[in-house]
């Protein structure tokens, strides 16, 4: 144990002495003389830039976008059931199926009723007449005192555009129990 400690101390001191010297190690030149590394390093010679002679008869390249796709156009476009494509981002309500949303409250105002719905994570959203909702290009058509009516358009298997009405009902708590 004492021998290994002493040997470690000696190695540590040797390491400090070897690293602590500010001298640059010398190398032996081919003639047998010791020279420092700094003396053997020479300045790099400047390389003159050689210009290639322009080739005659060769036209300069230019890009012709005719008939090619626009590289900045988005790959995916959202197409509604009506056939029109939207270049805008979907709102959070348009990312959910209507079955994933729950009607929580309806507020009566002089301008019209406003509905509060909740998604599956518990986040709430306000709905007014005309608000886009659902993955199938749905729109809120009516907000009654206990129901929200949403109209969705979709294409059937024959390619015909159909409209369906979906109703979200306000669930009231029963006396003495919870829903």
Q: Where are the domains of the chain?
A: 78-169
Residues 131-140 have pLDDT tens digits of 999 888 899 9
What's this model's pTM, rounded to 2 decimal places? 0.47
Convert the pLDDT of each residue in 104-130 to its tens digit.
999 998 888 999 999 888 899 999 999
Q: Which residue has the higher pLDDT, 18 or 106?
A: 106
Query: What's the average model confidence in pLDDT over 26-40?
Result: 52
Higher model confidence: residue 35 or residue 146? 146
At residue 120, what are phi and psi to the nearest 5 degrees? -70, -20
Domain spanning 78-169: CATH 2.30.30.830: yes
Instruction: Quote the pLDDT of residue 109.
Output: 87
Q: What is the C-alpha to C-alpha distance for residues 178 and 168, in angstroms, rounded to an integer?
A: 19
């Amino acid at each position: 144990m004492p021998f290994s400690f002493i040997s470690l101390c000696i190695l540590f001191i040797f390491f400090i002495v070897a690293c602590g010297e500010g001298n640059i190690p010398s190398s032996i030149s081919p003639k047998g003389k010791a020279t420092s590394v700094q003396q053997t390093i020479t300045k790099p010679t400047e390389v003159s830039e050689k210009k290639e002679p322009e080739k005659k008869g060769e036209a300069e390249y230019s890009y012709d976008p005719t008939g090619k796709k626009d590289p900045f156009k988005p790959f995916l476009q959202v197409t509604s059931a009506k056939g029109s494509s939207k270049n805008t981002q979907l709102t959070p309500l348009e990312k959910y199926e209507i079955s994933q949303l729950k009607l929580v409250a309806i507020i009566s105002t002089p301008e019209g009723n406003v509905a509060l719905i909740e998604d599956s994570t518990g986040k709430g959203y306000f709905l007014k007449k005309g608000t886009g909702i659902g993955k199938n290009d749905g729109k809120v058509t009516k907000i009654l005192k206990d129901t929200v009516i949403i109209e969705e358009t979709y294409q059937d298997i024959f390619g015909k555009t159909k409209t369906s009405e979906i109703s979200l009902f306000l669930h009231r708590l029963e006396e003495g129990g919870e829903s």
